Amino acid sequence: MAKYIAFLRGLNVGGHRVKMTDLCAHFESIGFSNAESFIASGNIIFEARTANTAAMEKKIEVQLLKSLGYEVATFVRSVAEVVAVAKYKPFKDSVLKSATALNVGFLTEPPSADAVARLMKYKSTDDDFRCNGREVYWACQTRQSDSAFFKVGFEKALKARVTVRNVNTIARLAGLHGPGRT
């Protein structure tokens, strides 16, 4: 079986509190194995027999809607994909060193050219973006809450479902579950 990581949007924010042990049990109830959580923000590592991430996303979303009573957008990546995201350098070193935050937005499919064009309209001295496959990177040079883009967000700019994680979270997941780890 291969190992995957599900990035879930909207858990443990806005009144949607879920115990991570319960969440892992939901994953196992639909046939995934060895489910474990990583920090209480909707990062679930699990094993699956299939390699069809779109089918996994749908299966998880249906189960969580049924069990929790609300929609939980789900974005699944293989461990190898998470390692690649962690290693990817979307910006020059000078931008990375001066950024107060570097975030990754996960999508279910690569953004269209129109979506990328809409996103790039928010590029400024404070905010810069790069797209790579099904991920969108955001370097913020100010406090995120002070950023003009923060008030808009990826979903409105791209007109697509997105969940966002800090690159430090991605790097920690890659380090814990990447090659040579069990």
Buried b (16+ CB within 10 A) or exposed e, 67-90: beeeebbbbbbebebbbbbbeeeb
β-bridge mates for residue 76, sequence order: 6
Instruction: State the CATH number of the domain containing residue 153.
Output: 3.30.70.1260
Tens digits of residue pLDDT in 136-168? 999 999 999 999 999 899 999 999 999 999 999
98 in the same domain as 46: no
Indicate whether 7 and 74 sit together in one domain: yes
Name the residue range of residue 91's domain. Answer: 84-177
Q: What per-residue confidence (pLDDT) applies to 11?
A: 78
Dihedral angle sign, alpha carbons of residues 87, 43, 77, 132: negative
> Can you read off the two tokens belonging to residue 81?
């994909």
> What token pair was written down for 172?
């920690």
Model pLDDT, residue 80: 94
Angle between helices 20-29 and 53-68 (to 10 degrees): 120
Q: Which amino acid is at 58?
A: K
- Token pair for 180: 């040579």
Sign of the alpha-carbon dihedral angle for 109, 114, 118, 123: positive
Report pLDDT digits (tens) over 100-142. Answer: 999 999 999 999 999 999 999 999 999 999 999 999 999 999 9
**140 and 171 in one domain?**
yes
3-state helix, strand, coil in the chain (%, to 5): 40, 25, 35
Question: Can you tell me the distance from the alpha carbon of 52 to that of 57, in angstroms, rounded to the nearest whole number?
Answer: 9
Predicted confidence at residue 12, as pLDDT, reads: 66
Q: Are residues 143 and 70 in the same domain?
A: no
How many independent structural domains does the chain possess? 2
Domain end call among 48, 80, 112: 80
**Does 23 lie in the same domain as 94?**
no
DSSP state of 122: T
Report the CATH number that the domain containing residue 60 is assigned in CATH.
3.30.70.1280
pLDDT of residue 181: 56
Whether residues 119 and 135 fall in one domain? yes
Burial pattern 129-156, b for ≥16 Cβ within 10 A else e, equals bbbeebbbbbbbbbeeeebebbeeebbe
Q: Per-residue pLDDT tens for 28-67?
A: 999 999 999 998 778 999 999 999 999 999 999 999 999 9
